[in-house]
């Protein structure tokens, strides 16, 4: 089957794109290699999605998949290995090849992990990556923020207004975030900054309740209720790195129009260059990319 639009990635951006494509009466295929919903599935409770007082990330993902399928989008669980450009685009996967008139890259970005034993197990059970999303769960509690760049400092500042105690653990001997953010953080009486220190191991049974940190040969145990890892994101754009222009950090070089350097290929969500990476902005990208792809497909008929 020749699809009007093939969407690579089944997160909020990709699934929103599928809904908009189908509402424009375009055939659409969503290909997802892992969990539909993307990073939001790590959040046990989400309260910043318009229209919902609160729901889990998994619930939100299920609703989006159901909506896309109800609109008539096809869903394929497979890993994309290559995208071949041409008048007709070929998307090669480990389950076969698919052809489309246009492609939307919505592959997302994954959080950089510490590489510790049981780390994946504790994600959503004490380990988080987003203070905006999950900070309220730790009101009046003790947390650690791992990292020293702008993102980490912003997370720590936000958490300091909610939490009893905030540790900032940075592996370098200095913070690398903006001076203004450092000064704001220094003014917080409930924040303790620990430099030149790494997290060696995680503690807890069913959920995280502490970490062991190491500086040189000295080790220390911090009893905490949660840990926010803020050491960067890794865009998942390897499959298109030789096809479309990426910026120096590996994100798709596409603006708010979601149009890439290659005709007929669009980008949406966390995989593209942008300042704010939230569910609402991912959904916005999905709508914009889908409409742009629909316009492109219509132009082929002229």
Of 130, 163, 258, 271, which one is the catalytic site residue? 130
Residue pLDDT, tens place only, 243-257: 999 999 999 999 999
Among the listed residues 4, 133, 258, 294, the single catalytic one is 133
Per-residue pLDDT at 44 = 67
In this model, does residue 39 exceed pLDDT 80? no
How many Å apart are CA 148 and CA 65, to the nearest integer? Answer: 36
Rounded Cα–Cα distance for residues 153 and 92 (Å):
41
Q: Which of 78, 62, 111, 64 is nearest to 6 (CA)?
A: 78
Domain regions of the chain by residue span: 2-110+233-300, 113-229
CATH H-level superfamily of 2-110+233-300: FAD/NAD(P)-binding domain (3.50.50.60)
pLDDT at 48 over 70: yes
pLDDT value of residue 45: 73
Cα atoms in the 13 Å half-sphere on the side-chain side of 81:
7
Which pLDDT value is given to residue 131?
A: 86
Among the four given CATH numbers 3.30.420.40, 3.50.50.60, 3.40.710.10, 3.90.600.10, the one describing domain 113-229: 3.50.50.60
Q: Among all chains, which residue has been given the structure tokens 């905030």?
A: 166
Sequence-distant (6+) residues with CB within 8 A of 249 are 235, 273
252-291 pLDDT, tens digit per residue, is 999 999 999 999 999 999 999 998 888 899 999 999 999 9
Instruction: Spot the catalytic one: 4, 94, 97, 134.
Output: 134
Q: Is 133 in the active site?
A: yes
Average confidence (pLDDT) over 110-133: 90
What would the pLDDT profile of 186-208 be if each residue is shown by its tens digit? 999 999 999 999 999 999 999 99
- Determine whether 77 is an active site residue: no
pLDDT for 57 equals 82
For 68-112, the pLDDT digits (tens) are 999 999 999 999 999 999 999 999 999 999 999 999 999 998 888
In eight-state DSSP terms, residue 142 is E
Judge if 2-110+233-300 and 113-229 fold alike in CATH terms: yes
Of the pLDDT bands very low, low, confident and very high (cuts 50, 70, 90), residue 132 is: confident
In tens, the pLDDT along 140-170 reads 999 999 999 988 998 999 999 999 999 999 9
Cα distances (angstroms) measured from residue 222 to each of 121, 143, 144: 19, 9, 9
How confident is the prediction for the chain on average, in pLDDT?
94
Q: Is 207 helix (H, G, I), strand (E, B) or coil?
A: coil
Beta carbons within 10 angstroms of residue 202's beta carbon: 20
Torsion angle of the four alpha carbons 45, 132, 160, 225, in this order, in degrees rounded to the nearest 10: 30
Element (H, E) at 299: helix 279-300
285 catalytic, yes or no? no
């Amino acid at each position: 089957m020749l699809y009007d639009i093939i969407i690579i990635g089944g997160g909020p951006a990709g699934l929103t794109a599928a809904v908009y494509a189908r509402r424009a009466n375009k055939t659409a295929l969503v290909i997802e290699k892992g969990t539909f919903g993307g990073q939001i599935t790590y959040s046990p409770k989400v309260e910043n999605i318009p229209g919902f007082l609160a729901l889990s990330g998994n619930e939100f993902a299920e609703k989006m998949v159901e909506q896309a399928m109800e609109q008539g989008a096809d869903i394929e669980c497979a890993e994309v290995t290559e995208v071949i450009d041409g008048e007709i685009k070929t998307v090669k996967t480990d389950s076969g090849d698919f052809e489309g008139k246009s492609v939307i890259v919505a592959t997302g970005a994954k959080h950089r992990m510490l590489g510790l034993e049981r780390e994946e197990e504790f994600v959503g059970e004490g380990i988080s990556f987003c203070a905006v999303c999950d900070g309220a769960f730790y009101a009046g509690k003790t947390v650690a923020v791992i990292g020293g760049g702008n993102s980490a400092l912003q997370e720590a500042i936000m958490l300091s207004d909610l939490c009893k105690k905030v540790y900032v653990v940075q592996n370098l001997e200095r913070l690398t975030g903006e001076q203004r953010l450092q000064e704001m953080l220094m003014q917080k009486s409930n924040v303790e900054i620990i430099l030149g220190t790494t997290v060696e191991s995680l503690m807890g049974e069913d959920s995280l309740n502490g970490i062991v940190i190491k500086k040189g040969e000295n080790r220390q145990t911090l009893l905490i209720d949660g840990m926010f890892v803020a050491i960067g994101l890794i865009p998942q754009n390897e499959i298109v790195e030789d096809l479309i222009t990426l910026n120096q950090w590996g994100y798709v070089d596409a603006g708010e129009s979601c149009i890439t350097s290659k005709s007929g290929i669009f980008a949406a969500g966390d995989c593209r260059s942008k300042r704010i990476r939230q569910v609402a902005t991912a959904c916005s990208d999905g709508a914009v990319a889908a409409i742009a792809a629909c316009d492109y497909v219509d132009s082929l008929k002229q």
